[in-house]
Each structure stands twice: as structure tokens, then as C-alpha cells.
Amino acid sequence: MFHKEGFKIIIGALFIVIVLSLLANTFVANPTIRGGVVVTLIILLLLILQFFRNPKRNFLVQPEYVLSPVDGKVVVIEEVFEKEYFNEKRLQVSVFMSPINVHVTRYPVGGKIVYSKYHPGKFLVAWHPKSSEENERTTVVVKNEDFGEVLYRQVAGALAKRIVNYAEVDHEVTQASDSGFIKFGSRVDIFLPLDVKVKVSLNQKVKGGVSIIAEK
């Protein structure tokens, strides 16, 4: 199963692979070189397919928990001053996604969207300390009955050239439902109240919409 954001790219890549393979078969006389070209094209197609995959999972609404919005590895757990929306200290948990991770973004909690904003910016590597403030990004705040306002931020990386964000202000959303997509390596930052209990550790691998990030 593939994410809808990848349909055009997948179809385009398939067309290019077929055309180039036919051209190689017609104009490249050396069978070794011809075979190498075809194999390389197939590998590139497979990489694109795996990047846009959207595996079926048994998503359960768990209002007592904050769930990971994406697949990846936890790279930050620290108290920070969040200055875009809260203007106060929050607990930040960041998940880094490599190009081989599933890049679907999911709502970490359910509730009402009270803030959704896109920021153009740089394309520093996603693990750079300043990427959360200087890179292209989107910031979304969900007002939740149990955790209050939870902010998550999609941050583009050095390879990510497009962030897709479905969150619209005043819309009611369900925990773990699809909230967007980030194309290629990137990260997502979550900003939580200081009194939550973090349930993950640094370098832990997590799954979007499944792994528990925090609880009250």
C-alpha cells in the first residue's frame, strides 16, 4: 500500500524506467552494460516505492497517551523554550526519519486544531540543532482534553523538498490519523507539557501512530 502523495511520482518513475530500459535494450550493444543499466533503474524504482509505502497497522485510539507522529529514531528529549506559539518552557521530543523510514505524519493526540502554519526556510540536515527553527517547517497545535495543547512540528531535512500538511484550524482530528507527509529525510518535533511522563529514551526506534511517547 502506498501513500497518495507518491502516486504521481511512482507513475512518473515507472514510465521513465520503462522508457530508459527500452532505449538501453535498443541502443546499448554490450549485454553487461545493458543489464547494469536495467538493474540500476529497477533498484531506483524500488527505492521510490519503499519510500512512499504506507503499511497497514492496527491503530488504536489511546487518549491517555501521546503517540509518535512518525516512524524513526528518538534524537532529542529535553526541556526547551518554545517561542513560536507557547512562549514558555515545554518538553521537546524529536524523532528523526531517515530516507528508508515511512514518512507519513500522524496526529499524536486527538482533538481540535487551533494552530497550523507553514514556514519557508533552509534545508539544513534534520539533526542540526537549528533545523527546528531555520528549516522549512510546519507547526500544528492540537487542543486535547487530557494533555491540553500539544504542538508538533514537521521539519524538512537536507533532502526533503516538500512538506505536506493536512491540518486545518478548527477541524476535529482523530489520534493516529493521517496528518501529512514529508518527502525524504526529515524530523518531527513534539512539544509537551512539562508534567508529562516520557515513555521513550534516546535512540529508541518508534512507529508512527503506534509507539507511546508520553503519558500523564
Same structural domain, 10 and 115? no
- Whichever domain contains 102, its CATH number is 2.70.70
Same structural domain, 44 and 83? no
Least confidently predicted of 12-16, 68-72, 199-203: 12-16
Active site residues: 186
Q: What does the pLDDT look like over 131-185, one tens digit per residue?
A: 566 678 899 999 999 999 999 999 886 555 578 899 999 999 999 999 998 876 6
Give the pLDDT band of residue 20 (cuts 50, 70, 90): very high
Overall average pLDDT of the 70-76 stretch: 95
User: Mean pLDDT across the chain, nearest whole number?
Assistant: 89
Is 106 inside a domain boundary? yes
Count of domains in the chain?
2
Is 134 inside a domain boundary? yes
Is 59 inside a domain boundary? no
Is 56 inside a domain boundary? no
pTM attached to this predicted model: 0.83
Q: Which amino acid is at 14?
A: L
Same structural domain, 118 and 140? yes
Same structural domain, 135 and 176? yes
Is 57 inside a domain boundary? no
Overall average pLDDT of the 108-130 stretch: 80
Task: Determine the pLDDT at residue 54.
Answer: 80
Task: Determine the pLDDT at residue 41.
Answer: 92
Looking at the DSSP bridge assignments, the partners of residue 140 are 116, 152
Asked if 61 and 176 touch (Cβ cutoff 8 Å), the reply is yes
Is 58 inside a domain boundary? no
Give the contacts of 47 (CB within 8 A, at least 6 positions apart). none
Distance of CA 168 to the CA centre of its chain: 18
Query: How many beta carbons lie within 10 A of that of residue 185, not counting itself?
Result: 22
Same structural domain, 43 and 76? no
Give the pLDDT band of residue 188 (cuts 50, 70, 90): very high
Same structural domain, 28 and 90? no
Is 60 inside a domain boundary? no
Same structural domain, 31 and 112? no
Same structural domain, 127 and 155? yes
- Is pLDDT above 70 for 187? yes
Task: Determine the pLDDT at residue 9.
Answer: 83
Q: Residue 121: is it exposed, middle or buried by C-beta count within 10 angstroms (0-12/13-18/19+)?
A: middle
Provide the residue range defining the domain that includes 173.
65-215
Same structural domain, 154 and 78? yes
Asked if 71 and 208 touch (Cβ cutoff 8 Å), the reply is yes
Same structural domain, 130 and 163? yes
Tell me the three-class secondary structure of the chain, residue by residue.
Answer: CECHHHHHHHHHHHHHHHHHHHHHHHHCCCHHHHHHHHHHHHHHHHHHHHHCECCCCCCCCCCCEEECCCCEEEEEEEEEEECCCCCEEEEEEEEEECCCCCCEEECCCCEEEEEEEEECCECCCCCCCCHHHHECEEEEEEEECCCEEEEEEEEECCCCCCEEECCCCCCEECCCCEEEEECCCEEEEEEECCCCEECCCCCCEECCCCCEEEEC
Same structural domain, 45 and 79? no
Same structural domain, 47 and 80? no
